[in-house]
Amino acid sequence: MTTTSMTTTMTSSFPAEILHRAAALLEQRRRPLLISHPRPDGDTIGCALALRLALLQIGSQPLLACVHPIPENVAYLPGAETYVSDVPEDVDIDLVIAVDMSDLSRTGGIYKDAWCGKFPLLVIDHHATNTAFGDVNLVDPDAAATALPLAALIDALGIPLTGDMATCLLAAVLTDTRGLRTSNTTPEVLRFVGQLIEAGGDYAGVMEKTLDSIPYRQMRGWAVALDRLQLDGQLAWATFPLAEKIALGIEDHDDLDLGNLLSRVAEAKVMATFLEMRDGTVKVSLRSRPGYNVAWIAKVLEGGGHHQAAGCSVTGDLDAAQARVLPLARQELAQHPGEGLGAADSATFARVSARR
Ligand SMILES: [Mn+2]
């Protein structure tokens, strides 16, 4: 199998000291629990699976957990079948690793309070809203995916990248950049993808199996959402009633990737999807074009995310959720008169430009 050694300067923008502390933790502990976030995406799954393969190489026995089932589009990745949906409080572990999540609640209840102070907690993430909830926080808010700081960590451990590890990391970075489409797809990201292909990663396979394959039921779900699609100025949104989910057999943990679907409405700068859940809440996914920021909207409503993709959960029915979210979305749009950028975002724009 082809192996490639990566240079940390390619993928890390955090202090080397943090990288070394994270690597030391992984070298000292042999039974780590890797937790992926609920409604898992390719980044949280691909990263945990790549790290699992790396840790197996240094004699560790990693355990993987995610409260929800692994989506079909990443279930083919090596090791995906080893995921468990929960672990008992007295599980035999000596380290906890939170993968691709901004705060402790994102473990979906897998993290047990009794572990606090007992096992070190390592956080590997890239969300701007990350609360630094670990003992060691390997968090790079400028990274397009958690795959980048994670690859730097694997490199710091001196573990050569195998083709399988590269395929898992490709699934991570290609999903979070929606197939290298997002504004944070920097030259660094493209070089990273090139390195993963050189290491034997299956780029075409990930594109086909993870990004371009839509299960029939999800496609039927899109039909429902698109039938309810609305556009008001530069704001596009769609609602998804619980009755329709039940009729199609769609579980609450399945968001049908509607946020990304709606993000393609050409006229819209801000997009929102509203999925009615079985517990009396509405799951809201927010997207925006570069220069527009939806992270603050999610944060106001006790959610989180990035400037271009964020989400939150709102109590009440679909009408109530729209009444809370849509005015905030219109507020964001109002800060950007005309086609240009508003003053509020010029600093962000300058920073993004400088990185290019
Ligand atoms: Mn991510």
CA 51 to centroid of ligand 1, rounded, Å: 15
78 and 131: one domain?
yes
* Mean predicted confidence (pLDDT) in 50-73: 97
| Residue where one domain finishes, among candidates 211, 228, 252 | 211
251 and 166: one domain?
no
Question: Can you give the pLDDT at residue 15?
Answer: 83
CA 338 to centroid of ligand 1, rounded, Å: 31
CA 259 to centroid of ligand 1, rounded, Å: 15
CA 269 to centroid of ligand 1, rounded, Å: 22
pLDDT tens track for 3-32: 444 444 444 567 899 999 999 999 999 999
CA 196 to centroid of ligand 1, rounded, Å: 17
Question: Can you give the pLDDT at residue 25?
Answer: 97
182 and 223: one domain?
no
201 and 242: one domain?
no
Residue 101 confidence (pLDDT) above 50: yes
Q: Which two tokens stand for residue 141?
A: 């808010």
Number of domains forming the structure of the chain: 2
CA 138 to centroid of ligand 1, rounded, Å: 13
CA 247 to centroid of ligand 1, rounded, Å: 31
| Residue where one domain finishes, among candidates 194, 211, 228 | 211
CA 150 to centroid of ligand 1, rounded, Å: 11
Question: Can you give the pLDDT at residue 340?
Answer: 44
CA 180 to centroid of ligand 1, rounded, Å: 13
CA 17 to centroid of ligand 1, rounded, Å: 23
49 and 182: one domain?
yes
10-42: b or e for each residue (b if 16 or more CB lie within 10 Å)?
Answer: ebbebeeebbebbbebbeebeebbbbbbbbbbb
145 and 223: one domain?
no
259 and 180: one domain?
no
pLDDT tens track for 248-272: 999 998 889 899 899 999 999 999 9
294 and 270: one domain?
yes
CA 124 to centroid of ligand 1, rounded, Å: 10
CA 146 to centroid of ligand 1, rounded, Å: 5
198 and 244: one domain?
no
314 and 206: one domain?
no
CA 177 to centroid of ligand 1, rounded, Å: 9
Concatenating the DSSP letter of every residue in 169-237 gives HHHHHHHHTTTTTSTT--HHHHHHHHHHHHTT--HHHHIIIIIS---HHHHHHHHHHHHT-EEETTEEE
CA 331 to centroid of ligand 1, rounded, Å: 27
Where is 8: in which H helix or E strand? helix 8-11
CA 47 to centroid of ligand 1, rounded, Å: 9
* Mean predicted confidence (pLDDT) in 318-338: 94
Residue 56 confidence (pLDDT) above 50: yes
CA 243 to centroid of ligand 1, rounded, Å: 30
Range of the domain at 114: 3-211
| Residue where one domain finishes, among candidates 180, 211, 242 | 211
Concatenating the DSSP letter of every residue in 220-286 gives HHHHHHHHT-EEETTEEEEEE-HHHHHHHT--TT--TTHHHHHTT-TT-SEEEEEEE-TTSEEEEEE
Question: Can you give the pLDDT at residue 344?
Answer: 42
Q: Please report, for the domain that includes residue 319, its CATH number.
A: 3.10.310.30
232 and 165: one domain?
no
Where is 23: in which H helix or E strand? helix 16-28
What distances in angstroms separate CA 315 from CA 24, 113, 287, one per listed residue? Answer: 43, 26, 20
pTM value > 0.75: yes
Question: Can you give the pLDDT at residue 338?
Answer: 63
Nearest to 202 by CA among 249, 233, 168: 168
Q: Please report, for the domain that includes residue 58, its CATH number.
A: 3.90.1640.10
162 and 304: one domain?
no
CA 292 to centroid of ligand 1, rounded, Å: 19
CA 147 to centroid of ligand 1, rounded, Å: 8
Residue 337 confidence (pLDDT) above 80: no
